[in-house]
C-alpha cells in the first residue's frame, strides 16, 4: 500500500518536458499506488473548465485512465488552478477536496492543503486571494466569454511577473504560528502541503507532541513525489 502526493507541477503548453514527465509518472508509478493526491498548482493557469486546451484534455484523459484502473485521485486547488471545477474533475475521474482536509494516512490523522493560506504574512497576496475567491466575483468572471477571460488571465500574469505578488510567492515561506494554529485546530500531528517549493520534512512539536510538516517540491527541473507507506513518507524525485 502506497499513497502518493504531488503538487506544483505548473503544467503549461510552454513546458512540454514537465507534462511528459508527469504523464510518465501517471503511467508507470501511479498505477501501483492505492491513492493519488494532487495538492494544487497542477496547472500554471486556469480560467474555466470550458477552456478545453489540448493540454487540459491530455491531462484529463491520463487521469481518467488511472481512475479507470481503480486508483482514487483527489485534488485540492492551488493558487494558480483554483478555478478547476466539477466538469474537469468528472472528465478526470478525480474527487475535488476542500482547501483543508484531514485524511487517515496509515493510522495517522494528516492535514493536507495547498499551502498558500499558510503564508499569512504575504498580505498583498492574501488580499488578491480574497478577491478572486469571492463567489460573486467568480460568478461575474465566468459570465465573461473565454477570449476575455483568457486576456484577463494573461494581463494579470504579465503584471504579476515583475510585481510584489510574484516575488513574495517565491521569497516568502509559511508562517510558523499559522502552521501550529491550523494543526491544533484540526487535531493533527502531521501536515502535508506544497506551494513554497521548499521540499523538506520538518520535525516540529505541537505542545509536547512530536509532529511533522512535510513540504512537497515543484516540478520545475525534475518530478517531485512524496511516497508514503506504513513505514513512513519519503520525498523522491523523477528525472525529466
Ligand atoms: C492564477 C495567479 C494568474 C498568483 C480573475 C476573477 C478577476 C478569477 C480570475 C484570472 C487569472 C485565474 C483566474 C492566474 C494565479 C495569476 C497571477 C499571479 C500569485 C478574476 C476570478 F480579475 F477578473 F476579477 N483569474 N487566472 N497568481 O491566469 O490562472 O497566484 S490565472
Ligand atoms: Mn502555489
What one-character DSSP code corresponds to residue 11?
Answer: B
92-130 pLDDT, tens per residue?
999 999 999 999 999 999 999 999 999 999 888 899 999
Q: Where are the domains of the chain?
A: 2-119+172-238
Q: Which CATH architecture does the domain made up of 2-119+172-238 adopt? A: 4-Layer Sandwich (3.60)
Q: Is the pLDDT of residue 237 over 80?
A: yes
C-alpha cell at 36: 493519488
Q: Report, as an integer, the average pLDDT of 205-224.
A: 97
Nearest bound ligand to the CA of residue 158? 1
Q: How far apart are the first and last CA of the chain?
A: 26
pLDDT in tens, 23-67: 999 999 999 999 999 999 999 999 999 999 999 999 999 999 999
Give, using CA atoms, the residue closest to atom 16 of ligand 1.
157
Ligand nearest, relative to CA of residue 125: 1
* ipTM, interface predicted TM-score of the complex: 0.98
Amino acid at each position: 500500500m502506497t499513497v502518493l502526493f504531488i503538487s506544483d507541477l505548473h503544467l503549461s503548453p510552454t513546458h512540454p518536458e514537465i507534462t511528459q514527465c508527469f504523464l510518465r509518472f501517471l503511467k508507470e508509478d501511479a498505477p501501483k499506488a492505492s491513492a493519488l493526491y494532487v495538492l494544487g498548482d497542477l496547472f500554471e493557469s486556469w480560467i474555466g473548465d470550458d477552456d478545453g486546451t489540448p493540454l487540459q484534455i491530455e491531462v484529463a484523459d491520463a487521469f481518467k485512465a488511472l481512475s479507470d484502473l481503480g486508483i482514487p485521485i483527489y485534488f485540492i486547488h492551488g493558487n494558480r488552478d483554483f478555478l478547476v471545477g466539477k466538469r474537469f474533475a468528472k472528465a478526470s475521474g478525480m474527487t475535488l477536496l476542500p482547501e483543508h482536509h484531514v485524511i487517515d494516512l496509515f493510522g495517522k490523522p494528516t492535514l493536507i492543503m495547498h499551502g498558500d493560506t499558510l503564508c499569512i504574512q504575504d498580505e498583498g497576496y492574501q488580499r488578491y486571494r480574497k478577491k478572486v475567491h469571492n463567489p460573486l466575483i467568480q460568478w461575474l468572471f465566468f459570465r465573461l466569454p473565454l477570449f476575455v477571460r483568457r486576456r484577463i488571465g494573461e494581463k494579470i500574469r504579465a503584471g504579476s511577473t515583475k510585481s510584489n505578488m510574484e516575488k513574495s510567492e517565491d521569497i516568502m515561506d509559511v508562517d510558523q504560528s499559522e502552521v501550529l494554529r491550523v494543526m491544533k485546530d484540526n487535531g493533527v500531528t502531521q501536515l502535508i502541503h506544497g506551494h513554497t517549493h521548499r521540499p523538506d520534512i520538518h520535525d516540529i512539536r505541537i505542545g509536547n507532541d512530536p509532529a511533522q510538516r512535510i513540504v512537497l517540491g515543484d516540478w520545475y527541473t525534475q518530478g517531485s513525489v512524496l511516497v508514503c507507506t506504513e513505514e513512513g513518507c519519503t520525498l523522491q524525485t523523477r528525472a525529466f
